Chains A and B, each alone.
Chain A
Amino acid sequence: MALLDIKNMRVEFPGRHGVFTSVNDVSLYVNEGEILGLVGESGAGKSTIGNAVMGLLQAPGRMSEGEVRLNGERIDQLSEIDMRSIRGKRIGMIFQDPMTSLNPIETIEFQLVETILAHLDVSMSEARKRAVELLEQVGIPEASVRIKQYPHQFSGGMRQRVVIALALCVEPELIIADEPTTALDVTIQAQILQLIKDMCKSRKLGVILVTHDMGVIAETADRVAVMYRGRLIELGDTSQIMNAPKEAYTQSLIAAVPPSNKKIDRFPKVAIAESDGSALQDFDLQSHWLGRGSAYETSSGSLLEVRSLRKQFLIKGAIRPSNRKYLDAIKDISFDVKAGETFGLVGESGSGKSTVARVITGIYPATGGEMEFDGHDLINTKNAKEKQQVRQDIQMVFQDPYSSLNGRMKIGAIVAEPMFVNKLAENGKERREIVADLLELVGLGKDAARKYPHEFSGGQRQRISIARALATRPRFLICDEPTSALDVSIQAQILNLLKDLQDQLKLTLLFISHDLPVIRQMCDRVGVMRFGDLVEVSETEALFEHPQHSYTQTLIGRMPRFAK
């Protein structure tokens, strides 16, 4: 008998625009000591399944059909009070953000002991002993000391370990882990996944691992369920799904994952969720506005030279300069970007890679060092006109597609604004024509100009963001994690688009990402950043095959392998 058995589950959310079916006729099961990976893109309904099992559907959502059995006993019709004795006791949960599952004003010990006492019939001292043992088991060093600390005194990875200990402390039969490593860096992610795997095997737990990341699934799960728009598309062993997927959707989903072991030219077959209507083929650059001006002369030397760049942030102000405290976001880094190449910057969160982008564009002033762009001094130029000229040449595509577009402006106005501000077009009519061409170029179609940003998905918004950046006819495009907020199939489309645009418009790219496989697909040369230092710069292939610096070796060693 399966540990958890879900039959014909259907979850509906009645709303203003009719009833939305979030999960549609899904049947699956989890055995003891098994990890079931639940994978799908955003909106596939994978988290909803977990919430429905726990009885945690947000009103007005409801499970309208089907049944859920835990060890043969139906739990979907239990009252809220009966459900409470199952939730946390027999089914544990691990969420994406460890901060939301820990109480910030209580110590770890208090939270663990409280949970143990609530569910198990043990004495206070036993509960304490048990709590320390658990922390040791999930790999927290000096557990007896650290248990007295508060959540904010733990790092992100350690906090997630505490959450796992919290989920395990009452010996549940099943654990639902909802994107447990999405908020963590790659080196920590590998450790947490290993921990979940070990706990599953040693304690005979059933685990449902909900994630959007195929790499995580490939490394961790025994079986995989692929979801798409509320439906279960395919269910099978991990090796079968990864290597020989039967359904077309699964095939294209796997094709869209950037391989970590080799560089491919383009991502094949990626038009699953949205059409990929790029109009690049029939676009004559020479005769078009985008090709005019001095912008696209190809030179062979370095386009951008960065020498001993430093950036400090004031973190504690004081009247006396000696009392002020600074954070060194960038400590003395130097690199060149050659014309026409894609230079990658990779690093974990807090390594200063986004700060580099903002110093180059001038959003943040540099603290020290030199930067030269195509012969123009970027730091000491006082001439406002020259400064604006250089600024036009350097544009940026931002990380968050939701905050990078002004929600109160129509797309047409957003894309036209750079031309309007810099007087790049003769009149309003020409501006509108160029906007239409740019929107066609990024694959949206000219009708998009009349709509507002909220009418578009994340991937489409990122296309708009690219169109806006192109509207100053830039030579240098900085992409700051342009796909980290996107689903994998959309990511493949955007990466394809960036490659195509680079070929057509002879752009130079600075590509910033924490995602090593994506870096491998996009970049010619890569710089690895850590704590504000540039530890290694090398050709992409050489970096991945023969990393020199020990930190680079660790990073590449911990990267989720997804070989095809």
Chain B
Amino acid sequence: MDMVKRAFESDLFWSFRHSPVAIISFVVAVTLILAAVFAPLLAPYNPFDPGSLNLMNGFSQPMVPNALTGDSFLMGADDQGRDVFSTILYGMRISLFVGFAAVIFALVIGIILGLTSAYAGGRVEAIIMRIADVQLTFPSILVAMLVFGIAKGFTPVHLRDQMAIWVLIVSIGLSDWVQFARVVRGAALVEKKKEYVEAAILIGRGPLGIVFRHILPNVLSPVLVIATISLALAIIAEATLSFLGVGAPPTEPSLGTLIRIGQGYLFSGEWWILFFPAMTLLMLALSVNLLGDWLRDALNPKLDD
């Protein structure tokens, strides 16, 4: 109860209540996330169950009953007769899962390497940060494709579709850790010079205790900001990879896969197959991004007074 009360009285919550952009993007993001989580309850069809599909429903228009079967679809059906609304709900689950998992993966690697280089300094710092610099010279999508390609080479053929999601997570995460490591290192270098760290040395705390008990909690706010913005980027990266055909398989489509399928029909009149997944991706990425922007401003100590 105490925690809840503190949260509602905090400056962060105050700033949230006074930012319409933050409130709207929060509502949109939470609605989309909840819709994805409860997809099995909300979706009228299960698009992953081939048995329930009827090819006769292919290319049904939105809200118009199919002339052959009489079935009606909210957002129409794709070439295989899958309900676009249902595939979006299920696809968002994959997109969000990959996004969150990739960010957490990048975050853990970034925090550990960032803290290590800041605290150890010297040669360790030089090596870690040079690796980061080198990686920054490649576009992250290229790194992700490289990792994806190598991982695919090592996975047995019959496991490929199952492993695809995990390979996606690792490849996006590995292309993303650099910014976490840099920000954590920068913030930790500032914290390391503060007197409370000296006090911790004096009372006999070892390096691990100092780094994780004292420095880490004090560098988390910038990490939180980057994590939010990275989430949007990871979702987009996943969509890009899937769009290029190196991501989620067509049998379990993510938003990116749906857009890839849809783009073939855009100019032949079946616009809904592309339009609805693309709009969902846009709303998801935009709302998360705007939340990240607001968080960055709200946590900026310069704006306190």
Contact = CB atoms under 8 A, between A and B. Distances in A.
A361 B202 contact: yes
Given A404-B195, A406-B196, A363 B202 contact: yes
A277 interface: no
Given A403-B196, A405-B196, A406-B196, A472 B203 contact: yes
Chain B interface, >50% SS class: helix
B14 A407 contact: no
A421 B205 contact: yes
Interface string A392-421: 101110111001111111000000011001
A396 B198 contact: yes
A358 interface: yes
Given A16-B14, A421-B204, A472-B203, A408 B198 contact: no
Contact of B198 (A16, A391, A398, A409): A398
A395 B198 CA distance: 11
A468 B199 CA distance: 9
Contact of B218 (A58, A358, A399, A407): A407
What range describes how many residues of B lie at the interface?
10 to 19
B195 A399 contact: yes
A421 B203 contact: yes
A486 B281 CA distance: 54
Interface string B203-215: 1110001000010
Given A406-B218, A407-B218, A422 B195 contact: no
A430 B168 CA distance: 51
Interface residues of A, number: 31
A58 B194 CA distance: 29
B20 interface: no
A469 B204 CA distance: 12
B57 to A, nearest CB: 56
B201 interface: yes
B195 to A, nearest CB: 4
A395 B218 contact: no
A457 interface: no
B70 interface: no
A409 B198 CA distance: 16
Contact of A403 (B14, B195, B200): B195
A391 B199 contact: no
B202 A395 contact: yes
B50 interface: no
Interface string A345-374: 000000000000010011100000000000
Given A405-B196, A407-B218, A422 B203 contact: yes
A418 B196 contact: no
A64 interface: no
Contacts of A472: 203-204
Contacts of B205: 417, 421
B192 to A, nearest CB: 11
A361 B199 CA distance: 10
Interface in B158-216: 194-196, 198-205, 209, 214
A345 to B, nearest CB: 18
A366 to B, nearest CB: 15
Interface in A270-327: none
B14 A363 contact: no
Contacts of A363: 198, 201-202
A8 interface: no
Contacts of A407: 218
Interface of B: 11, 14, 194-196, 198-205, 209, 214, 217-218, 305
14 contacts: A361-B202, A363-B198, A396-B198, A396-B199, A404-B194, A404-B198, A404-B199, A406-B218, A407-B218, A421-B203, A422-B203, A465-B199, A471-B203, A472-B204
Interface of A: 16, 58, 358, 361-363, 388, 391-392, 394-396, 398-400, 403-409, 417-418, 421-422, 465, 468-469, 471-472
